[in-house]
Structure 1
Amino acid sequence: MPVKTNTTPYYVNGMKHHSPHQHGAPHHHLASTKQNGYQAHHHTPAPQGSGIYYCPMHCEGNKTYHQPGNCPVCGMNLVQQPIPHQETSYTCPMHPEIIRDKPGACPICGMELVPVKADAQEEDQTYRRLLKKFIIAVAFTLPIFLIAMSEMLPNNPLFKLMPLSYWNWVQFALSLPVICYATWMFFERAWRSIISWKLNMFTLIGIGAGASWLFSVVALLAPGIFPDEFKTHTGTVYLYFEAATVILTLVLLGQLLEARAHGKTNSAIKELLKLAPNKATRIRDGREEVVDINTIRSGDLLRVKPGEKIPVDGHIEDGTAVIDESMISGEPIPVEKKIGDPVKAGTINGNRSFVIGAEKVGADTLLAQIIEMVNSASRSRAPIQKLADKISGYFVPVVVFIAIATFIVWALWGPQPTYVYGFVNAIAVLIIACPCALGLATPMAVMVGVGKGAKTGVLIKQAAALEKMNAIDVVVIDKTGTVTEGKPSVEKIVCATNSLSEHDLLQRIVALNGSSEHPLAQAILRYGKEKQVNVQPITDFEAVTGKGVIGTLHHEQLALGNKKLMEQLQISLPTSLEEQANDVQKQGKTVSYASVGKEAVGFVVISDKLKPTAKAAIEKLHQAGLEVWMFTGDNADTAKVVSEHLGLDGFKAQMLPEDKLQEVAHLQRDGKRVAMAGDGINDAPALSKADVGIAMGTGTDVAIESADITLVEGDIAGIAKARILSERVMANIKQNLFFALGYNILGIPVAAGLLYPMWGILLSPMIAALAMSFSSVSVILNSLRLRRQQIGVEKGG
């Protein structure tokens, strides 16, 4: 299998970690990757200006390094994680305490200030470094190859200049720059793998090419120790300087091609990184000033001009806008925004100017968190990778055994010169069997798939979620905020007592919800504001999860919630009140009962529109052979209307958080693999219990942090996208593994000479090296096909 190299995903370590989330933070607050045990590891603080490096094979999981180099396990080039743009700072080489934001002279010694951090990306530097070595390798390998091949020419013109024995010394001299400089890193990696007994592809390369070169050196210096079978008709020993140098040069070519192809797999993250502007227009004391993005703080007012990228997360304070959010949500239709509406960093303003109030800046913006989540997920390992790891663990020793057996078989039963045939074929076996493509098969597909998901608004926390999503049988969804828009509005207040007017009841309900951040509470507060009702302070406030809220106003105990809350408070509902509420609920609307003291005094009617993509998404999931159920805390009548409209397989209503958890566990006990989608605190336990938890990005932090997949826009169509993406990624991984394993299954016997007795076909070690180098590139190219595949769901009623 081919050689594997540098350049792969970019990850969380390179970015500033989030502080713990605050409950009640504005919407779109994605979970920090500190959750669920996949926070990247920093073993030592990163030096100022240094990069973060990791192995593209993820041999040590999330382990990272602060210096470039090679992986101590597999020997691959470590890859740098790209980090968001930061304004360049300048310092004095003599006085590092001097830091300036502009170039100039040091105020102490007058020396020219130099940048603290270079601007060039490390992956480009790695590519250029490999390219330089490759050019040197080719420059010295080509004449070696021509000298060796000239022996096949009749009346060899080179031999007229000097005899073969002298040309052998020329080959030796030309091979030194290739062996000792351009490709020396391969031997270093091979040696490390042997002394640590962490055998990898460089073990085979080092043994194969090293044996060829050392054999040639010994044969050049002491030809008399070799039997006649190893000698040419002129008395010199067959040398393999051209085989060793050509093999190593082709391996280096494979590394170079991978470095270039590998970079394309990161295109999604690179595009996300490019979305972040580095400047913004801040309004201070009525004056506008262009400032560095890193100087913006929460609460600053920022002017966003036509065509500009929005610099931070916030809300529109003045003006209106039409914003292109497709780069984050995946939806191509521009979104209209008005005062109070949220905006996200990296999205693009249309043709209007407006002012936003900054809320989340730096690493706390949605864009930064998306990049962090994508980085972490790209580097995580899918469970199927264990298969490749297990195979690789036995692979190298088996290949070495096959190579030895090949030499013995040819030496005993091969044609003359038997030892030469045995030696050459053993080298071919070692070279063609390099297990790089096998190691690349899973991480390449995961990396591209996670990036593809991010571009369409589906954020994968870890690769295991992608694999599990492909095996799901049942999808369980919440109602409010999941299949509905999550923007409930109060239709009316029904007052069922003569002791209070409708306005008096509204005053109490508004006061009770003033301390709640539940979407239904926010709807009531908006309604109260429209009716010019002031929010009065309340005491003894308590939110009863899954039921409602209670509190005290002017010594009156108030409660607002569902029927279970009334039962908990031992408040009986009048028959006429229940009948009125039932009629409303049969229309698919939500009812919250209100009580004062021990008396039920009315209810609030709240409606929430279904999301336009919900029905199409459910149909897509059904087409994939999945059952779709709805678990909701709402009443049975409302749930039934929604279920019938969407064509669900079933529903369960009036469920508390523990009920949802138990039902998910019950489905799992029945052998079902369950994906749970929700957006509220009451969904968090079920999200954690499910095989795959899917959170709406518009929901609460607790729900998001409990989930494996986050849908940025909170659109249920994202569930269908995640399912399709999972199928495509897993299919791609299996294709990659088939290519990799099939390549070795076919290549090793051919290299060993299996076809020689029948057709006289032998595989040159140089051809084996070329095939091996391109096999890993083929795995990468196959993975890149995922970028062009569509996973969207059309909107529908």
Structure 2
Amino acid sequence: MKYTYTINGMHCNSCRTKVENALNSIEGVEAEVSLNPPKAEISMQKPIQTIQFQEVITSAGNYTIKVFNPNDLKLKATETVAPTPPPNAVGKYYCPMFCEGDKVYDEPGSCPVCGMDLVTIEATGEEENKSYLDLVHKMKIALLFTIPIFIIAMSDMIPNNPLMHVLDMKTWNWVQFILSLPVVFYACWMFFQRAWKSIITWNLNMFTLIGIGSGVAFVFSLVGLFFPEIFPHEFKNHSGHVGLYFEATTVILTLVLLGQLLEARAHNQTSGAIKELLKLAPTEAILVFNGIDTVISIQDIKKGDLLRVKPGDKVPVDGKITEGESTIDESMISGEPIPVDKKINDSVVAGTINGTKSFVMIAEKVGSETLLSQIIQMVNDASRSRAPIQKLADSTSKYFVPIVVGIAAITFFIWAKFGPEENALIYGFINAVAVLIIACPCALGLATPMSVMVGVGKGAQSGVLIKNAEALEKMDKVNVLITDKTGTITEGMPSVEKVFSSTNQEDDLLQNIASLNQYSEHPLAQAVVNFAKAKNTTLLEVKDFESITGKGVLGTVAHKKVALGNKKLMEEVKAIVSDALENQIIAEQKLGKTVSYIAVNGTAVGFVTITDAIKESSSVAIKTLMNQGIEVIMLTGDNKNTAQAVADQLHLTSFQAGCLPEDKLKFIQKLQAEGKIVAMAGDGINDAPALAQADIGIAMGTGTDVAIESAKITLVKGDLQGIVKAKQLSHAVMKNIRQNLFFAFFYNVLGIPIAAGILYPFFGILLSPMIAALAMSFSSVSVIANALRLRTLKF
């Protein structure tokens, strides 16, 4: 015996677990408890009174149980109680989905059950993006204290320094020191932690250079501030003070923090595609039980349930129509703009949108089994499957770091052994510091983000929105472009191409069929009406109008019986179709066009062709890309005839028709396994998994939010010419980055030997750390100036 009960008082998955365990503790009972809706399905070997269930769940908490009533499920989503953190979660991390009940962790990470990031109490709800907000806060702190330090340091270059009239240099040095503390030990302390971790694991990267360079500059400044007397006069300025580098330390760290902030902003949006897909699924459905309609939660639908879908509603789960008929917009799955007529025994898919009629369906696939859920999973898996690219600066740093540290060490020992007898150790230390300061990766740290920031800004001005540096780098290497058809190559909406009349009376035929279609809400009918209105055609009154699902429409217009539809409608009204007209229609259909017969008074006298027009810019853009050596392949969910016609018109050598979302995904995976760098251009929900899987996903800005969120590049105008621009921009940015890296390393290669004192034996020249800092700054200026040249790029 199996019975259903309503449970009240549950607020989270932990509560659900407690209630389920309590009920299962009763001998002969097997219970399954759900949180939303709050129900318990209880199988029992013998009848058990509700009061006994109440006793055991009361011992588990403040919960109540009663026999299930369908009206209990009318609770709206906005009225549900939000999950609450486990009672022991303060200062700990836990899964926001409560997959493991009250279990908490000491360190951040991902849930071992569902894979979601573990959160703290502060990270729930509106503060889900706490990491990004923390960086924003630290950036404000860094700027607040770095700007005054920079002003103080640079004021020494102003003749008759005005700050010296307020305080003396020694006091200003102390001010710089105090102002630098929040930057070094709070806002940017994480960089030193990463540098230390990179050293102890010997995974040397840019943070190693940042930590060593800025750390040495800071330590040198501390020594110069507290023990200036140990420095020889060669390393003091005209006022007798040791040059300090608090501004170099804080500026370097703040610039690096800016780069981290921009990266965090991009990562903070990575889950957007999944969120947009989840919005497609309705939260409620209408259960038909014993002739009564009851609103239930989508999570409570079981296989075999009968569900009513009203006009304009989303289909709740996958299944088949058992009663009624309608027209359903399935563009989210197929990508095709023309809604599909559905009747009894036809399949319907979760998330698709019902037309103007109501129908009853039987649920066949629920939960994770639905096609929408599978698409969500495919997007999620594809997004997680890609490892971050190894930045050129990081890979170079693996060799650069030990070389620089080695040169600094050699410099110290040579000076300590062969330097001036009185100050050999001091000279060794100072010159070693000069080496590390001139090698500090300020320009190296700027080389990539400066070019990326300018390049992204230039792209935005040209209608090409780029999510991150990875997209720019990979776009430059793309050698295969996969493109969707509908809404990408074509306009994405049905339109009338022509009205043909075998009696040369096209205007009269157009008036008749447009008048007839004014009473139909089918999208193809609307296309005919729009075409007629564009030609200023007057619509007439129609009598005896009838719409036959899956066939067409008919009625009486100006005392003539007019029928418009497919061949089945012609057979139903017994219309005579001449061989010549039939051959013409077949020829149009082979070109991939949708053709409707037109019959007047029992004789087929013409036809109307409806097509999805190719965008004017598509042909030029595809030709340009192919001339650049990029292989262009079209994948579409449309039929083979239509796909062949479009491919022939665009001179494409490769295409596949009838593709489902999974087919596109697998096709891209196959190309990637062959070593190809694949870009995917699309605009629909059905393209989302492929966009996420591709090395570069390119979404049409005129498409769905899901496609845009899944992609790395968005073309605002929904124009394939934007791909040409994106390719040119990525090439220019990567070339600019390589130039910047040259500038960064050129000064290092030139300056490091001089800082080490190689010129001293011949010319008596030493490179003071102040000059080293100036050279380092000059390399940064060179990088910035070069990056700004991207603003003049012409497409």
TM-score (norm 1): 0.51
Change (3 A) 1:680 1:205: closer
Give 3-state SS (helix, strand or coil) of 1:67's partner. helix
For residues 6-45 of structure 1, the C-alpha deviation after alignment (integer angstroms, 9 at most, x for no partner) is: xxxxxxxxxxxxxxxxxxxxxxxxxxxxxxx999x99959
Q: One-letter code of the match for 2:682?
A: G
For residues 458-516 of structure 1, the C-alpha deviation after alignment (integer angstroms, 9 at most, x for no partner) is: 112333222222221111223333233445421456899xxxx99998799777753x6
Choose which of 670, 674, 683 in structure 2 pairs with 1:670.
674
Who is 1:388 aligned against? 393
Whether the aligned pair in 2 keeps the contact of 1:664 and 1:689 (CA below 8 Å) is: yes
1:477 aligns with 2:494: no
Who is 1:431 aligned against? 437
Shift of 1:553: 12
Who is 1:768 aligned against? 772
Choose which of 710, 725, 731 in structure 2 pairs with 1:721.
725
Alignment of 1:231-310 (within 5 A): 245-248=242-245, 251=248
Whether the aligned pair in 2 keeps the contact of 1:134 and 1:253 (CA below 8 Å) is: no
Gaps of at least 5 residues in structure 1 are 1-36, 55-59, 72-76, 79-124, 146-169, 224-229, 267-380, 542-548, 564-572, 792-797
Whether the aligned pair in 1 keeps the contact of 2:596 and 2:609 (CA below 8 Å) is: no
Who is 1:201 aligned against? 210
Who is 1:448 aligned against? 454
Aligned equivalents of 1:749, 1:761: Cα separation in 2: 12
Aligned equivalents of 1:692, 1:134: Cα separation in 2: 44
For residues 163-197 of structure 1, the C-alpha deviation after alignment (integer angstroms, 9 at most, x for no partner) is: xxxxxxx9984564465356566765798765773
Q: One-letter code of the match for 1:734?
A: R
Aligned equivalents of 1:178, 1:466: Cα separation in 2: 42
Choose which of 423, 427, 430 in structure 2 pairs with 1:421.
427
Structure whose alpha-carbon radius of gyration is higher: 2
Change (3 A) 1:619 1:772: same
Who is 1:680 aligned against? 684
Q: Once structures 1 and 2 are overlaid, which stretch shifts more, 207-216 or 447-456?
A: 207-216
Whether the aligned pair in 2 keeps the contact of 1:251 and 1:770 (CA below 8 Å) is: no
Give 3-state SS (helix, strand or coil) of 1:713's partner. coil
Change (3 A) 1:606 1:219: closer
Whether the aligned pair in 2 keeps the contact of 1:589 and 1:606 (CA below 8 Å) is: no
Give 3-state SS (helix, strand or coil) of 1:426's partner. helix
For residues 654-684 of structure 1, the C-alpha deviation after alignment (integer angstroms, 9 at most, x for no partner) is: 5455544444344334332222222334444
Who is 1:67 aligned against? 137
Give 3-state SS (helix, strand or coil) of 1:625's partner. coil
Shift of 1:750: 2.7
Who is 2:738 aligned against? 734
Give 3-state SS (helix, strand or coil) of 1:754's partner. coil
Who is 1:646 aligned against? 650
Aligned equivalents of 1:535, 1:691: Cα separation in 2: 57
Alignment of 1:477-516 (within 5 A): 477-486=483-492, 488-492=494-498, 514=522
Change (3 A) 1:772 1:745: same
Who is 2:628 aligned against? 624
Aligned equivalents of 1:47, 1:399: Cα separation in 2: 47
Aligned equivalents of 1:217, 1:700: Cα separation in 2: 62
Whether the aligned pair in 1 keeps the contact of 2:217 and 2:249 (CA below 8 Å) is: no
Aligned equivalents of 1:444, 1:231: Cα separation in 2: 38
Shift of 1:718: 0.6
Change (3 A) 1:429 1:506: same
Change (3 A) 1:635 1:175: closer
Aligned equivalents of 1:748, 1:594: Cα separation in 2: 82
Q: One-letter code of the match for 1:763?
A: L
Give 3-state SS (helix, strand or coil) of 2:408's partner. helix
Change (3 A) 1:394 1:38: farther
Q: One-letter code of the match for 1:133?
A: I
Change (3 A) 1:488 1:127: farther
Shift of 1:759: 5.7
Change (3 A) 1:202 1:760: same
Aligned equivalents of 2:147, 2:771: Cα separation in 1: 26
For residues 128-173 of structure 1, the C-alpha deviation after alignment (integer angstroms, 9 at most, x for no partner) is: 645643466668997999xxxxxxxxxxxxxxxxxxxxxxxx9984
For residues 618-673 of structure 1, the C-alpha deviation after alignment (integer angstroms, 9 at most, x for no partner) is: 23212321122333445555544543443433334454555444443443343322
Aligned equivalents of 2:633, 2:494: Cα separation in 1: 22
Change (3 A) 1:180 1:46: farther
Whether the aligned pair in 1 keeps the contact of 2:496 and 2:611 (CA below 8 Å) is: yes
**Aligned-residue RMSD, C-alpha:** 5.7
Aligned equivalents of 1:208, 1:456: Cα separation in 2: 42
Whether the aligned pair in 1 keeps the contact of 2:174 and 2:225 (CA below 8 Å) is: no
1:133 aligns with 2:138: no
Shift of 1:412: 1.4
Q: One-letter code of the match for 2:786?
A: N
Whether the aligned pair in 2 keeps the contact of 1:193 and 1:203 (CA below 8 Å) is: no
Q: Which structure's relative contact order is higher, taking Cα pairs within 8 Å and 6+ residues apart?
A: 1
Q: One-letter code of the match for 1:204?
A: G
Shift of 1:766: 1.4
Aligned equivalents of 1:536, 1:786: Cα separation in 2: 66
Aligned equivalents of 1:560, 1:670: Cα separation in 2: 47
For residues 587-609 of structure 1, the C-alpha deviation after alignment (integer angstroms, 9 at most, x for no partner) is: x662256899xxxx997512444
Whether the aligned pair in 2 keeps the contact of 1:590 and 1:605 (CA below 8 Å) is: yes
Change (3 A) 1:394 1:43: farther
Change (3 A) 1:209 1:713: closer
| Residue correspondences, number | 511
Task: State the percentage of identical aligned residues.
Answer: 45
Give 3-state SS (helix, strand or coil) of 1:584's partner. helix
Who is 1:25 aligned against? none
Shift of 1:695: 2.0
Give 3-state SS (helix, strand or coil) of 2:609's partner. strand
Gaps of at least 5 residues in structure 2 are 1-114, 198-207, 264-385, 503-508, 556-562, 569-576
TM-score (norm 2): 0.51
